[in-house]
Chain A
Amino acid sequence: MEPIIHIVDDDRSFRTALARLVETFGFPASCYESGADFLARLPKSEGGCILLDLRMPGLSGMELQDTVAQAVPLLPIVFLTGQGTIASSVQAIKAGADDFLEKPVSSKVLRDVIERALVQNEKRRNRLSQMQTLQAKVSNLTPRETQVFDLVVRGKRNKQVAFDLNTSERTVKAHRHSIMEKLNATSLAEIVSIAERLGRIEVDTVQNPQPDSSPKANIRPR
């Protein structure tokens, strides 16, 4: 899939020039005059990255960032800033930028940044596809198996699970076996990792331990 470089800048001349430069790198470029314009014409392809002017009338780059991240989460956002101040860079990164570029942009830096962003994009896409694979596997579980899965990955023993689900320990064991097979896992650690990657558990959240919880119970249900 060919990545497309999306350029969002209110300055026509600047975005045109940038697009020309980007095209000399061999990437197709697509220009938008504002954040609203970009949101109206969301790209179908998830390959590429966004070069977003930090300061624009209407929705500013910062405000746009959240919306864009939700709409096209795979596309890395590179902010274009006019002032190379530390404050604006920190602000940009905090706001979730993957990178930022200082105007005026040199060809080499632009290329590096774009390539980095595309690598990032690649990674995200890969991760997403992995996730999608895992998700598909998990969704193959029966509802009962899912329940068992959720409890097991939180470190519950078979006996506890059986008690929680009001069933026998033996049944739980059977479910666990079926789950291991369906998820193509060989160990408990593997299943926990899958659950974590799918966001079914949070790691390291500090909460008051429940009175009845075991000392190991720092993994909590969401």
Chain B
Amino acid sequence: MLRDPGEDMPERAGSSACPRAKKNAGLVFPLICAIINLLVICWPAEANPPDGSRRVLVIYQDSSILKSAEEIGIGISRGLEKTTAGRLDLYTEYLDTPRFSRDEDFRNSAEYLGSKYGKLHIDILVPIGPEALRFALNHRDLFAPKAKVVFGDISERTYARLKPPDDFAGAITPYDIERSVDLAIGLQSEATDIIVLSGSAEFDIYWQSSAREALGEKYRNLPVAYVSGLPLAEFVSHASRLNPRSILLILTIFEDSLGQKYRPRDAVLEITRASGAPSYGLLSSYAGAGIVGGHMATYESIGTDVAKLIAKAANGDNREVVHAASGPVVDWRQMQRWAMDRAVLPEETRLLNFKPTLWEDYRWQILTVALLVLTEAMAIIALYMERRSRLSAEVQARSRLLELVHLNQSATAGALSASIAHELNQPLGAIRSNAEAAEAILMGTAPDLNLVQQILADIRDDDERAGEIIMRLRGMLKKRNAIDWQEFDLNEVVSSAINILHAEAENKQVAVRAKQSKIKLPVRADKVHLQQVILNLATNAMDAMAESATVDRKLTFRTTLHGDTKVEMSISDNGQGIPRERLDRIFEAFYTTKPNGTGLGLSIARAIVETYGGKIWADNRDDGGAVFRFVLPLAQAA
């Protein structure tokens, strides 16, 4: 058991400990089987192969489910795909030596293979692993007596031990302690010392002596300590006490000082899990078992090298012994665990379990998406800015409108001031007369106190009346900086507008009538604004009737529901009516037919009504005069 059986022994059970192996097996193994099956189906064993094709029998030392065998198989089939060595007829056998390694087992296998392949004339025999090579050396006469031999997965030392004949070709797998340590020093530039672990088995001891030869007591100025002869638990606790600046090189542990046997990979797993320092190894089966890495050949590259030799052997050349390509192998997860810099790795490093960051994987996608998001964000910002400027323009426009409405209010108040003053004179005159009458009564000889009391009550009532008139005037002049939204009955506003107007209507000898809807007509708006609309329409109507005979001067206010969702208010007069061609223009600003008009009243009325979602229009009445109407949304429907 010279060729590091341990290299693969752990794999047997280790497949459960190594999820990656399992995964690969799941993906790749069926593929291999398929290729092999294909070959087998195409050229059945009992049939003579067509001219020029060669039969190749690959004998693996391990069972077919081990990672090493599997990967080497992949390497061989990939390597053979690339060669032009004619048709190769590939057969595969697994010795499963960890379980069947006695001489008797070997003999039985050889006899079995003899009966299986005896008539087939195997051209090339490919033993993989030291045990397979030993089997081939001792028993090949039984099943492949004339075959050329190409071996693989043999260490330098095994090769020296078994001394295969010169006509054997093969790939020797290098296990390079120095370069593994060099890799470690490269990754840990601040390392303080090197610790080398090895078990108590003969093979372990052999590895330790190899290491002593390679590293000595001091390697590249770093002290080297050799730790061995301990139970596994001690190894674990020893490793756990290490600090991260140490380099822990694990050779093999097949057996500890208590005689307990291990699969090296399992032992390595336990140690690396607890280790306080980054661990390194030489065997590629350790990869993924918690070591940072090492300088090693991968099984697949061994397979590829072997495939090249098989191709050469098929072409007749058959004496070459090469070293399988090896190189630094590093586990990315462990690099991350120890926060190591990827930049210091040699270029040819094989990085295992490398999970590129999203950025590395999807650079273009990310850039594209980022660009899209950026573009979109800018578009959104642009739209938002535009919306804001539009909103502020709207706010500005609205505040202009509010100012305009206020000007309009003042103008209306001015126009109505004479009537309002007259109206105010009534209660004021009454108060004065009453007061003077009371005074005179009290100065009389037998004052009628009941009368005086009555007079005082009247004075109080008239004072209230005067107050109400002033309140109305103030309400009419109320300035708005923002719309005061309220829900109210349109009829209320009509009544208050009529209150304001009635004195003026009297003055102009206009009879005012109101036909208000019996039910409430709730609308949402600013009361003062709607009142202004009504005042504008009504003063307009009264002006239109200035030329009419006094008996005809009738101003009619009417409110009603308009459909289910709107309320309608109309103001009709008995004036001249509106010439048809002007009907469309009368709501335009500065359009006026009156010598003293500003042309703003109706345009402001329209602006207000539209602000509250309504519509305003004018028409001529069939029996003379004009009617102005507006509709507003019913508040409950909104």
Contacts and interface: CB of A to CB of B under 8 A. Distances in A.
Given A55-B506, A60-B509, A104 B437 contact: no
Contacts of A17: 429-434, 437, 455, 458, 462
Interface in B412-444: 418, 421-423, 425-434, 436-437, 440-441, 444
Given A103-B426, A104-B428, A20 B433 contact: yes
Given A13-B458, A83-B418, A83-B421, A20 B428 contact: no
Contacts of B427: 13-14
Interface in A32-67: 55-57, 60
Contact of B440 (A21, A82, A83): A21
B461 interface: yes
Contacts of A129: none
B507 interface: yes
A104 B425 contact: yes
B461 to A, nearest CB: 7
Contacts of A23: 437
B438 to A, nearest CB: 8
Interface string A88-119: 00000000000000011111001000000000
A23 B438 CA distance: 11
B430 A14 contact: yes
A141 B540 CA distance: 65
B196 to A, nearest CB: 122
Interface of B: 418, 421-423, 425-434, 436-437, 440-441, 444, 451, 455, 458, 461-462, 465, 506-507, 509, 511
Contacts of A25: 440
B429 A107 contact: no
B564 to A, nearest CB: 39
A175 B346 CA distance: 166
A213 B458 CA distance: 70
A28 to B, nearest CB: 14
Contact of B506 (A57, A104, A110): A57
A42 to B, nearest CB: 24
A82 B422 contact: yes
A203 to B, nearest CB: 37
Interface string A55-86: 11100100000000000000000000011000
Interface residues of A, number: 23
Nearest to A24: B440
Contacts of B431: 17, 104
Contacts of B511: 57
A62 B436 CA distance: 29
A16 B457 CA distance: 13
Given A17-B437, A20-B441, A103-B426, 7 more contacts: A13-B461, A16-B458, A17-B462, A24-B437, A55-B422, A55-B507, A83-B418
A11 interface: yes
A14 B429 contact: yes
B418 A21 contact: no
A191 interface: no
A20 B425 contact: no
B458 A82 contact: no
A105 B433 contact: yes
Q: Which 4 A-B pairs have the closest CB atoms?
A: A82-B422, A24-B440, A104-B429, A17-B433
B432 A104 contact: yes
Contact of B437 (A21, A57, A106): A21
A5 interface: no
B506 to A, nearest CB: 6
Contacts of B451: 20
Contacts of B418: 83
Given A13-B427, A13-B461, A55-B507, A21 B422 contact: no
A137 B461 CA distance: 58
B426 A20 contact: no
A82 B506 contact: no
Contacts of B461: 13
B514 to A, nearest CB: 15
29 contacts: A11-B426, A13-B430, A13-B462, A13-B465, A14-B426, A14-B427, A14-B429, A16-B430, A17-B429, A17-B430, A17-B433, A17-B434, A17-B437, A17-B462, A18-B430, A20-B433, A20-B441, A21-B434, A21-B437, A23-B437, A24-B441, A25-B440, A55-B422, A57-B506, A103-B426, A104-B433, A105-B429, A105-B432, A107-B433
A20 B509 contact: no
Nearest to A80: B429
A20 B455 contact: yes
B433 A18 contact: yes
Contacts of A110: 433
Contacts of A105: 429, 432-433
Contacts of A107: 433, 436, 440
A81 B481 CA distance: 39
A82 B421 contact: yes
Given A13-B458, A13-B462, A55-B506, A103 B437 contact: no
B452 to A, nearest CB: 10
Nearest to B432: A104
A11 B427 CA distance: 9
Choose among A17, A24, A82 the residue with the greatest number of B CB atoms under 10 Å from its CB.
Answer: A17
A83 B430 contact: no
Nearest to A107: B436
A110 B461 CA distance: 23
Interface in A155-204: none
Contacts of A55: 422, 506-507
A2 to B, nearest CB: 19
Contacts of B507: 55
Contacts of A18: 429-430, 433
Nearest to A104: B429
A107 B423 CA distance: 20
A54 B52 CA distance: 140
Nearest to B443: A24
A183 to B, nearest CB: 48
Nearest to B426: A11
A6 to B, nearest CB: 16
Contacts of A103: 425-426, 428-429
Contacts of B421: 82-83
Nearest to B505: A57
Nearest to B507: A55
Contacts of A82: 421-423, 425-426
Nearest to B502: A57
A25 B507 CA distance: 32
Contacts of B436: 21, 24, 106-107
A60 B506 CA distance: 9
Contacts of B455: 17, 20
